Amino acid sequence: MTATAAPASDPTDAPGIHLSGAGLMSLRHLARRGVSPATRTIAGLPGGIVTRKRGRGSEPDDVRPWSEGDDRRFIDRNATARTGELHVRTHHDERDRAVVLLADFRPSMLFGTRRALRSVAAAEALALLGWRIVGDGGRIGLIAAGAGEPAVVRPAGGERAMTAVTGALAHAHAEALARQSTSDPPLTDTLSLARSLLPSGGHLVVASALDAPGPDFESLITALAERLSIRLLLVSDAFERTRPAGLYPYALPDGHRGTVQARRGAPPADAVDPRLARLHACGIEGLRIDVEAGPESYAPLMERLDAVL
């Protein structure tokens, strides 16, 4: 699967190639599956043991109608007086998480051989993580890097923030497909932009295959990791890992054609991807997401990632 096909009028006509804001919005329920208010926050104390936080938190979260079993101490008098029905105010922990999602939509990401393009898988995984972040009271932002100017959504909280993020992802991806550029701009400028959006101690999550990241990428991201918490979602297509031996013809948007030879041989199942190993040496942790697996498989991975942000 490549991005050379003509764009469909309706994104649902080719879900593996095109992104839709509605499709990314629908991942909300998958992201929150199995997560309850009692278990979704963890202790902020130092140490290696993760425990549940006790208490209701101190920051107002929402006002909703009273239901059987609610603590009457949390009745909201103003809402109750205004509506004539009992309402309770819920709270969340005061921890402020600011997270920026960096989606790589450069030309090399518009490639895929099973289920979807690498860019689509990156957007799905980031959307799942975004829904978890705002569901726990955090703020979410976005940088979508393509061949042109990046799309930017500044960190904000709540469902409105995720509506902006999913819409920007879909729009930026459509522009990337339409542009059909032949070369990848470096990711270094995008990293500098992420630094300007986040406070010290903020979180940056990059979803990319790291093709042609730029000559100064590793040194810049190492320096940036001293100020921010950075995690990588390495997007991997099945063809990269287990391509059969043979000659493979290719055609580029500029009309150039050629053939590349691939040798047989797949890495061991437990082998660490060299791209992850290099970033680990820089102090950046990451995990691999396989394009062919799909959002159902990404959800537990994003749950693990959410726990360490």
7: tokens are: 């764009």
Instruction: Report d(CA 204, CA 209) in Å as an integer.
Output: 16
Q: How far apart are the first and last CA of the chain?
A: 33
pLDDT in tens, 236-248: 999 888 877 778 7
- According to the model, what pLDDT value does residue 197 have? 93
- According to the model, what pLDDT value does residue 159 have? 92
pLDDT in tens, the chain (309 residues): 555 444 444 544 577 999 999 999 999 988 875 444 433 444 343 443 344 444 444 555 568 887 776 777 888 888 889 899 888 887 655 557 899 999 999 999 999 999 999 999 999 999 999 999 999 889 999 999 999 999 999 999 999 999 999 999 999 999 999 987 778 999 998 998 998 999 888 999 999 999 999 989 999 999 999 999 999 999 999 988 887 777 878 776 667 788 877 766 555 655 678 889 989 888 899 999 999 999 999 999 999 999 888
CB atoms within 10 A of CB 206: 28
Residue 180 in contact with residue 204, Cβ under 8 Å? no
pLDDT in tens, 99-150: 999 999 999 999 999 999 999 999 999 999 999 999 988 999 999 999 999 9
Q: In order of start, what are the domains of the chain with their CATH numbers?
A: 63-92 (no CATH), 96-240+256-307 (3.40.50.410)
104: tokens are: 């790589």
Residue 107 in contact with residue 55, Cβ under 8 Å? no
- According to the model, what pLDDT value does residue 260 have? 74
